[in-house]
Chains A and B, each alone.
Chain A
Amino acid sequence: MADQPTAPLYGLVAEFDSAPELLDAAREVTRAGYRKTDAFSPFPIHGLADALDFHDRRLSLIVLLGGICGLLFGYSLEYYTQVISFPENIGGRPYHAWVAFIPPAFETTILFGAFTAGITMLVLNGLPSPYHPVFNAPRFRFASQDKFFLAIEAADPKFNEAETRAFLTGLHAREVVAVEE
């Protein structure tokens, strides 16, 4: 495809054949000071995020909070319905039969926790995003099969099409293409 993009430039996308090559390239790119970068692989690659200097551990905390909310919701629901709203003598058990209240509260904890985990993950990843510039890379469909890609965005302060392209090619990229927005 044409090297001279017509539309505004999203960035350069380099293709690699193997996970290790991608990993090295990613390290180099980061060392070179590029920040607006991303790597794409058909399966999770150990250390790739580090290589891109990306760290995000917020998920655990959010899920914990979700779980706690679930617990509170479950138990207060039980307490309200059985003790406050309509207390009834059921088989001589006390209104606040806390022993019996444990299982449902436990289940709500899990429920809230799990869904927090799933949804938060998607939100943080900005999914769903059916359209993304990187899809414009001609061979990008292989990113979900057996090829590995590295992208440097035009928005990156250090980005200069010519230099960056040279730099990437230097990293034994199988091919480097410019991708438009």
Chain B
Amino acid sequence: MEGSQYPKGDFRAPLPIIGPGHSFRSITNKLTSVVLTKNTPKAWFAVMAIGFVLLNGLMIAITYLLFKGIGIWGTNIPVGWAFPIINFVWWIGIGHAGTLISAILLLFKQDWRTSINRFAEAMTLFAVVCAAIFPVIHTGRPWLAAYWLFPYPNAMTIWPNFRSPLIWDVFAVSTYGSVSALFWFIGLIPDMATFRDTAEHPLLKKMYGVLSLGWRGSARHWERYEHAYLLLAGLSTPLVLSVHTVVSFDFAVGIVPGWHATIFPPYFVAGAIYDGFAMVLTLAIPLRAMYGLRDFITDRHIENMAKVMLATGLVVVYGYSCEAFFGWYSGNEFERFMLKNRMYFGPMAWSYWVLILCNFLVPQIMWSKRLRRKTWAVFTAAMFVNVGMWLERFVIIVTSLHRDFLPSSWEMYYPTKWDFITLFGTVGLFLTLMFLFVRVLPLISIFEMRTLVTDKPAAAPQVEGH
């Protein structure tokens, strides 16, 4: 894609997290121009178009679904869950990277996070939106599920069943969604002020003025602001871990061989971050090219993310080996058969090996510093991981269900065209939201970038509190 920013041959050189020679002004201008500019890049329109077409697919699919019933999908009796839940878990997982970057890396004082956390958070938000669609539409009677899943006093004096992991999901996902949104908006406030003050058009001024809540950068405000931001980060961290833990409970709590495993929570969380970083890369690399942001999203960022991806990827692979080991070591005939069926003679064994290729073999190229610094290589690896993590859920859900306890009920699963339209439809929704965001809001946190400016007399103050 692009030439490396490093002197040839020298891979030891410390990498900057912001291009040289940047001032407050230059950062401000650069980042505000992305939104306030008159001329939008052609690429933006291209992506938007694709996203929009897919989104319409989603709308049609859902309408038809509501009219006909979920029988339009391939789900059947041994395989009661398939695409919808796979997609749900996949999207939720993707969301995790955002929170991780903005919260956990913040706590770890990783200042390179600043230039990616904003759109990573946006990604979280939109991924959760996509994910949240599925638990509702995958039910037989969505118009009831939409509110019966919440505990509210009613004329029947009946309540949801709090023993069910699905109810845990409802709480986890809705909390995750709203807290992410809050975190994201709080982060936006100071930049909204910047927009308010740099925009020319009076209407824009007013619009951003409203969003900025009248922020004026007062020292007192900054004081409480950073304090609150830190607390939010502190709360989001256990939250993000809990969310995918709860999602993994959907399976771990079941008795289905291939679901009923104690490794699931850590293994799912790692998987989520793995996939999340892959998605961040998938977005960051084209975006920085599209808007020429290589000074802010530097190769250092790409490389760091590649490293995180590699690390979490290995955790996930450890998860696979644990699953295999547990299955074998349990000596339980059902577990053992599940493994053989999944890896060896089952009609869907192919999916397992493709998964291994995508999630285990390909990402290993990230060991090489040279490749880590080749954007195209990282991008390719990220793409493989995106696919691989989807397949992982396919393997867990479908191949476990289609052959469980009684051989008499063993059957096959085949998705229908509606399954695919819905899946790619949500991708469309995601792209649409993401690129609308890029167009109207700062995709990189401006005020935090300012703290990185190093060519000033005073040392750049840290974002963290005291």
Contact = CB atoms under 8 A, between A and B. Distances in A.
A90 B225 contact: no
Interface string B170-185: 0110010011001101
Nearest to A88: B161
Interface in A68-122: 74, 77-78, 81-82, 85-86, 88, 90-91, 93, 97, 100-101, 103-104, 106-108, 110-111, 113-115, 117-118, 120-122
Interface string A43-67: 1111111011010110110010001
A181 interface: no
Interface string B232-252: 100110110010001001000
Interface stretch (A2-10, A131-139, A153-161, A163-171): A131-139
A14 B225 CA distance: 23
Contact of B461 (A43, A63, A130): A43
A114 B451 contact: no
Contacts of A125: 218, 220-221, 224-225
Contacts of B246: 103, 107
Interface string B248-269: 0100000000000000000000
A175 interface: no
Interface string B193-210: 110111000000000011
Contact of A56 (B198, B224, B448, B450): B224
Chain B interface residue number, banded: 35 or more
A166 B262 CA distance: 71
A111 B183 CA distance: 12
B148 interface: no
B157 A85 contact: yes
Contacts of B196: 144
A115 B177 CA distance: 12
Contact of A144 (B167, B172, B190, B210): B190
B235 A113 contact: yes
B213 A128 contact: yes
B150 to A, nearest CB: 11
A33 interface: no
A78 B236 CA distance: 23
Contacts of A39: 218-219
A84 B368 CA distance: 60
B28 A146 contact: yes
A103 B194 CA distance: 40
A129 B214 contact: yes
A41 B219 contact: yes
A175 to B, nearest CB: 17
A124 interface: yes
A52 B25 contact: no
A132 to B, nearest CB: 6
Interface in B286-307: none
Contacts of B12: none
B186 to A, nearest CB: 6
A21 to B, nearest CB: 9
A25 to B, nearest CB: 12
A143 B197 CA distance: 9
Contacts of B457: 18, 20
B333 interface: no
B38 interface: no
Contacts of A113: 231, 235
A127 interface: yes
Contact of A85 (B159, B227, B228): B159
Contact of B242 (A78, A103, A145): A103
A52 B231 contact: no
Nearest to B458: A20
A110 B175 contact: yes
Give 5 closest A-B pairs by Cβ, nearest first.
A146-B24, A121-B228, A128-B213, A141-B197, A81-B159
28 contacts: A18-B456, A20-B458, A38-B218, A39-B219, A40-B219, A42-B194, A42-B450, A44-B447, A49-B220, A67-B235, A74-B171, A77-B151, A78-B162, A81-B159, A90-B161, A90-B163, A91-B163, A97-B162, A100-B163, A103-B249, A104-B171, A110-B235, A124-B224, A127-B214, A142-B197, A143-B217, A144-B190, A146-B28
Interface of A: 18-20, 23, 26, 38-49, 51-52, 54, 56-57, 59-60, 63, 67, 74, 77-78, 81-82, 85-86, 88, 90-91, 93, 97, 100-101, 103-104, 106-108, 110-111, 113-115, 117-118, 120-122, 124-125, 127-132, 134-135, 140-146
Interface of B: 23-25, 28, 151, 157-163, 167-168, 171-172, 175, 178-179, 182-183, 185-186, 190, 193-194, 196-198, 209-210, 213-228, 231-232, 235-236, 238-239, 242, 246, 249, 447-448, 450-451, 456-458, 461-463
